[in-house]
Structure 1
Amino acid sequence: MTLNQDMIPILKLSGRIQFLPVIHGSGSFAREVRHRLLAFPCDCLAVALPPEFEQTVEEGIRILPSISLSCQIEQNGGMNYVPIDPSQPLIMGLRIAMQEGIPRHFIDWSTENYEKRAVDFPDSFALSKLSYEKFISTLLLTLKRPKDKSHHFWRARWMAYQLHQLELEYAHIVCLCSILDWPWIKEAYDERLEVLAPQKPEGLPSLHGVDKQTLFFALSEFPYVTYLYEKKRQELRPDNNTPVDGVKEILVRARELFTKKHKIRYHNLTSQTFQLLLQYIRNLTLMESRLLPDLYTLVKAAKQFGGDPFAVAVLEAAREYPFEPAKNLQETLSLGIDQALPDEEDAKPLSMKNRLLETQFEWRSLDLKPDPNIKTQEKWQHRWDPYGQCSWPPEDEKIENLNTHVREQTKFLLSHDLARTEKFTSSVKDGIDIRDTLRNWHTGDIYVKEIPP
């Protein structure tokens, strides 16, 4: 059965509605959404976002590949936002619908304060070898029902109500929603459960830019991998292997940055070294029950193979996003862990909630010693005391190498002075003692030496 012949039973909601449940932030699901939207007959795309986000989200999609955020201010002064990320399945679905001229409807429940969710999902890269239906069916057994009268409880019921309204107008509706909401929307649709009117927020969302140095916190994939996705889209090339090829591209780009920054021609970062490094990254990734490495694994492995300078180069390569940022947006935000800093004087950090992030993350620290920036170098130059103790790495290395050489030679001479000679019986031990053997040549005996450790 092909995709465009009949609806797949597990995804079917009614004779007019087909589900496409996704894991937010998954490039593998984004590719699956693109493939199925172009294969299914579809005259309406319903997405799990509130209607007030429609204008800014679609405006952000039009300016892709420049990254932006559709932000809504909450009652407590914080923000919830939708990242306009081409690797997000919902953004990919809307992008394809806009490209194909398919009507879009935002059917989520509006609220003044959004509640985040965090679930430990399996690595969605398994979709490259596993069918979409098998993957989501397996996850279906692990999903928990939302708490009674909670935010997500009313969201599922409201989206089911909106789908009832849409099927009066359209014949082939595709509903793009989170896999966490999928079974409860279906339940509310079948049973026609009670709904609660949405809480219309006072202000409308606004579109903001993102500081290029903090794109890690806005994008679901590495910024450089996202760049590769967009580059292949522009060149009309397949992107099925981009997540794996992206890791190799990051390492090659890091080597370029490393050699250019330190102005070196000879190094040990050869193709053979990279082959061993990739095997090591693979093993570390599998030990963490993943199929693709995260940033911590990638940088940690690079540090152990090439030291701190190469690890810093890998970090810089992974966060590169060569496309130019949009210039007509009202404000640029510098993102952090669940917070953002506006590009204004005396601005205070704002609490941020990502509507398209439901995966549980663990933040880990890694000790790196980056090269000092110009400001730090000027500070050191100003505070340097020429009459005090100072250090210069090239001289330090020569002195330390000389000390090491002298120490090794001393140990070698002392060990030979304390060597013990004896007549050969069953083992040559540390070798034949030529001097004593020649001295006793007339006896025909062979003497061996034993050097103490």
Structure 2
Amino acid sequence: MKITASDNAAITLVPFLHGKIMFTEHVRRLCLENVFDCIAVDLPEPFEPYLAEAIDELPVISAVIAQDGNDALAYFVPIDPCDAVIEGIRQSRQNHISFACIGHPLLRRPTLLPSLPDEYAIGKLGFDGYASLCLRMAGNPEHDGQQDIEAQYIAYRIDKLKNGYKNILALVHFRHFTRVNYHLKTKKKRDVSFSSLPYYSFRKEIINPDHLYFVLGELPFVTAKFEKTRHESFSENIDIVACIKDLFRETRDNYNETGQEALALSPARIQRGLQFLRNLTVMNNCLIPTLFDIVASGKGVGGNSYALHLLKCARYYPYLPQDINSPLLSAGIDRITLPGEQIPYDAVNFLRDFDFVWKKLSIKPDPSEFQKQKYRFSWNPHGVCSHIPEDLRIENFNSHIRNKAMSLLREDAAAPEKFTVSVRDGIDMRETLAKWHTGDIYVKELPPARGGIDAVVIIFDSEHDERYPNLATWYAEHEEESTLTFYSTDPFDNLTGPGIARSYYGGLSLLFPPRSIPNIFEIKFNPAPVNLSEYLTLSALLFGREKRVAFVSKNKPDIHLRKTAAHLKKQLVWIPLSTFSSETLKKLRAFHVLNGKEVRSWATRFIGD
């Protein structure tokens, strides 16, 4: 920031970049700390009569559009709440002072700037330090070049404003700031006459909220946060990094509300996604992530569906026009389509400083209701199989459960003895602490394993049988697979692709080595089991060949199950469900039903990791 004093007026020159919230907050702070009687903004002068009305309609975002005789080209200024010049005019309206557009009256495509350091560095460097760094990188415009001519006109307008105002805040863009400062100091007479200026027609149109990402400097999600804080008296400045964290959390909460609780993201998983996002941002030599980086990191931790929800949430802007049925302005990159028209115009956005770079990211959207119906009607009821990566996951978990159960049995059978010459199988901490007053150390000796475990029961939910209408037994395709009996949600309620349905286990029973067994849910018992989890436990007790059955559940097996196991001369080895992380359990609960082995060739394209 540079302050230039003259005989009659004080002029505060402030450099800025368009669409950056850090500059917007700096302008807002200046207006709160100082008393200005005029705010001059670096926008083309012909837009001045039309901006006030559009800005008064905020937070609804519109655009002021200018056209000359060339019907193929349009110029527009989007009313971006996070832009410094829009904030300057907004402050002038709120404080009932004058504002002036001091940019060159001839509408031309502005020169795009080279890549500059992220404005987030203002927090460490300070505003003046960051501005000096950017001005040095932007360079000094060529003498009598287009930018120098525009700077001469801006300096001329500021000189004129000094005659009517005593304290002027002048917001000058980085591309003009150096030359404007030079021309104000030289105080020479400037030739700003124009032989003729084209006639411009102006109109104001509300921008389609779905297209705001292409015209705003910040993400629509961040812009909405900024608008919300404006109405809070003691709110602090917006922290963009904190907003990105809020974006991940709020998307996760909305994602859970859609009923996909089995795929809910744990806080630890969200934290890993944010770390991944930080690494992507640093690799791009930036401090603030782009939308591409945000969606890519969301896909990495939550798959396609979460990435899509993250994209929609980042582009969502909640402040809509009162008449939602009125025609809206469609906007893209360098193109707009006026309401009621079909042919797009090439367009120049005066609030855009940098070039866009297209990047591709493969995201598979959720199928529409029409597609789901199509998948359902084309389903062959005689062809069903599993998804191989999920088979490997459940078999690895099955092996882990069996080993853990055997380890627990050996621990329970361990015989403590007083330490003499060998620590045996380790120090028995429980016995040592119990007899601490004696000063002796006790060691334990684990007996050799006798027998094994070939049946595992995992109960995720034993209290809501009505949610799990799908009762089935799947037989092993080869010797490395288990015989699987389970109850789950209806897979046809969640068709995700052609011949692909997603379901969630309520509980399952695994027998390894595999063997042929009847469908346990069709067997008549007397007395009948009280719920589906008892059916699975009976299946493991009846068809397991070993004397022990691993039982993974939230609660211990009840007295009825323990009596049944004792009657069959079996033992249920309980492993609390809380032993495993919620993320692991949620990943295990979700599985896919494929409509035949041929579906495996394309299933990966529709199933996230």
Is TM (by shorter chain) over 0.5? yes
Please say if residues 30 and 92 of structure 1, whose CA atoms lie closer than 8 Å, have aligned partners that are also in contact: yes
The residue that corresponds to 2:25 in the other structure is 31
Q: Distance in 2 between matches of 1:125 and 1:62?
A: 29
Please say if residues 255 and 309 of structure 2, whose CA atoms lie closer than 8 Å, have aligned partners that are also in contact: yes
String of CA shifts for 1:333-373, please: whole Å, max 9, x gaps.
1111211223335x111112111111243221111111133
Tell me if 1:285 matches 2:262: no
Secondary structure of 2:65's aligned partner: strand
Tell me if 1:128 matches 2:123: yes
Please say if residues 87 and 220 of structure 1, whose CA atoms lie closer than 8 Å, have aligned partners that are also in contact: yes
Q: Distance in 1 between matches of 2:356 and 2:348?
A: 14
Please say if residues 157 and 194 of structure 1, whose CA atoms lie closer than 8 Å, have aligned partners that are also in contact: yes
Q: Distance in 2 between matches of 1:391 and 1:127?
A: 61
**CA offset at residue 326 of structure 1?**
5.3
Change (3 A) 1:374 1:154: farther
Letter in 2 for 1:166: L
Determine which of 91, 99, 103 is the counterpart of 2:98: 103
Change (3 A) 1:70 1:403: same
String of CA shifts for 1:117-167, please: whole Å, max 9, x gaps.
232121001112321111111222223333455432321111111111111
Higher radius of gyration, 1 or 2: 2
The residue that corresponds to 1:297 in the other structure is 293
Q: Distance in 2 between matches of 1:129 and 1:142?
A: 18
Tell me if 1:207 matches 2:204: yes
**CA offset at residue 306 of structure 1?**
0.7
Q: Distance in 2 between matches of 1:211 and 1:402?
A: 46
Tell me if 1:253 matches 2:231: no
**CA offset at residue 316 of structure 1?**
0.6
Secondary structure of 1:49's aligned partner: strand
Change (3 A) 1:396 1:128: farther
String of CA shifts for 1:397-418, please: whole Å, max 9, x gaps.
4687569965784499xxx9xx
Letter in 2 for 1:292: I
The residue that corresponds to 1:424 in the other structure is none
**1:6-405 equivalences in 2 (<5 Å):** 10-12=2-4, 14=6, 16-76=10-70, 77-147=72-142, 149-191=144-186, 192=188, 194-198=190-194, 200-261=197-258, 263-325=259-321, 327=323, 332-344=328-340, 347-374=342-369, 380=374, 386=378, 395=384, 397=386, 401=390
**CA offset at residue 249 of structure 1?**
1.8
Identity of aligned residues (%): 27
Change (3 A) 1:403 1:361: closer
Letter in 2 for 1:154: I
Please say if residues 74 and 113 of structure 1, whose CA atoms lie closer than 8 Å, have aligned partners that are also in contact: no
Of 279-288 and 137-146, the range deviating more from structure 2: 137-146
**CA offset at residue 184 of structure 1?**
0.6
Q: Distance in 2 between matches of 1:285 and 1:401?
A: 32
Q: Distance in 2 between matches of 1:146 and 1:328?
A: 45
Task: Return the structure number with greater relative CO, CA threshold 8 A, min gap 6.
Answer: 1
The residue that corresponds to 1:435 in the other structure is none
Change (3 A) 1:79 1:375: farther
Secondary structure of 1:12's aligned partner: strand
Letter in 1 for 2:302: G
Of 114-123 and 217-226, the range deviating more from structure 2: 114-123
Change (3 A) 1:410 1:257: same
Please say if residues 114 and 138 of structure 2, whose CA atoms lie closer than 8 Å, have aligned partners that are also in contact: no
Q: Distance in 2 between matches of 1:148 and 1:36?
A: 32
Letter in 1 for 2:124: K
**CA offset at residue 391 of structure 1?**
7.3
**CA offset at residue 238 of structure 1?**
2.1
> Structure 2: which 5+ runs fail to align?
396-475, 483-512, 514-609
**CA offset at residue 74 of structure 1?**
4.1
Secondary structure of 2:329's aligned partner: strand
Q: Distance in 1 between matches of 2:13 and 2:89?
A: 15
> Structure 1: which 5+ runs fail to align?
1-7, 417-453
Of 19-28 and 36-45, the range deviating more from structure 2: 36-45
TM-score by length of structure 1 reads 0.79
Please say if residues 50 and 108 of structure 1, whose CA atoms lie closer than 8 Å, have aligned partners that are also in contact: yes
Secondary structure of 1:45's aligned partner: strand
**CA offset at residue 323 of structure 1?**
1.2
**CA offset at residue 290 of structure 1?**
1.3
Secondary structure of 1:141's aligned partner: helix
Of 362-371 and 22-31, the range deviating more from structure 2: 362-371
Q: Distance in 1 between matches of 2:326 and 2:264?
A: 47
Of 39-48 and 25-34, the range deviating more from structure 2: 39-48
Please say if residues 229 and 239 of structure 1, whose CA atoms lie closer than 8 Å, have aligned partners that are also in contact: no
Q: Distance in 2 between matches of 1:227 and 1:32?
A: 18
The residue that corresponds to 1:448 in the other structure is none
Of 56-65 and 353-362, the range deviating more from structure 2: 353-362
Q: Distance in 2 between matches of 1:289 and 1:398?
A: 40
TM-score by length of structure 2 reads 0.60
Change (3 A) 1:396 1:104: farther
Q: Distance in 1 between matches of 2:105 and 2:232?
A: 39
Please say if residues 75 and 107 of structure 2, whose CA atoms lie closer than 8 Å, have aligned partners that are also in contact: no
Q: Distance in 1 between matches of 2:357 and 2:388?
A: 43
Q: Distance in 1 between matches of 2:87 and 2:479?
A: 66
Secondary structure of 1:181's aligned partner: helix
Q: Distance in 2 between matches of 1:402 and 1:178?
A: 60
